Amino acid sequence: MKGNGINVIGYSPDIEADIIRQLGFLMPEIDDIMDTADLGLTDVPLGEITNVAPESPDVLEEQLRQVAEGRRKAMLVTNGAELPEPLPADITVMRVPQGYLYININKISPEKAAQLALTNRLGLLLGDAKKGYGVVGRPDESLGMVVTLRNRNGLPTDDVEADSKTLSSVLDALASLNDGTGNIEIRNAMDALRERKMRNMRAR
């Protein structure tokens, strides 16, 4: 559907039950859905799948640009990913257990950012500057479902795991992060992982 310049695939904001019905179309047959534990997602903080495969350099470059613009308070570069550079003005880098936080000090203090990271609440820090990712922790039910935000060039800037309870809030948060030219889609977590790995291979 289209709204506010955003193409949302498989989502009806007016009929909650429609979300669940469409999941049957958007997702594989139930027997083919792999539990996120099989994908290595059990240790992933706050519903995001960044700890499974690092973001590709082009995604990190785009995220850093948005942090510098103030559209994001911060971004996370997970362990194993190439650190983006050069560092824009007003951006500081902090080492946390999950990797490296790039923080816009005009949007959040390093102390507050560190507190959110150390208490496993990165979902309130990453994503949209005001709404985060719309989640605090991992979904209660694991459907292997990911909400992806792509920019106008098709670059997947964000992949956020969601379930039927958190889907609406995640979609709302990513819609706020979208500049009106991108697309939001719901897809299988395995597809998101494959694409991320392929992007990293092409960047080598």
Helix/strand/coil (H, E, C) string of the chain? CEECCEEECCCCCCCHHHHHHHHHHHCCCHHHCCCHHHHCCCCCHHHECCCCCCCCHHHHHHHHHHHHHCCCCEEEEECCCCCCCCCCCCEEEEEECCEEEEEECCCCCHHHHHHHHHCCCHHHCCCECCCECCCCCCCCCCCCEEEEEECCCCCEEEEEEECCCCHHHHHHHHHHHCCCCCEEEEEEHHHHHHHHHHHHHHHC
Q: Is 1 a member of any domain?
A: no
Q: Is 107 a member of any domain?
A: yes
pLDDT for 98: 86
- The model's pTM: 0.75
pLDDT for 52: 58
Tell me how crowded residue 98 is: count the other CB atoms within 10 A of its CB.
21
pLDDT for 30: 26
Q: Is 177 a member of any domain?
A: yes
pLDDT for 142: 64
Of 160, 45, 91, nearest to 101 by C-alpha is 91
Range of the domain at 49: 8-203
**What's the structural domain count of the chain?**
1
Inter-helix orientation angle 189-203/57-69, to 10° = 100
pLDDT for 136: 86
pLDDT for 178: 96
pLDDT for 40: 35
pLDDT along the chain (204 residues), means of 10: 36 39 36 31 39 83 97 93 91 91 95 90 94 84 85 96 90 96 93 91 86
Q: Is 2 a member of any domain?
A: no
Q: Is 78 a member of any domain?
A: yes
pLDDT for 4: 34
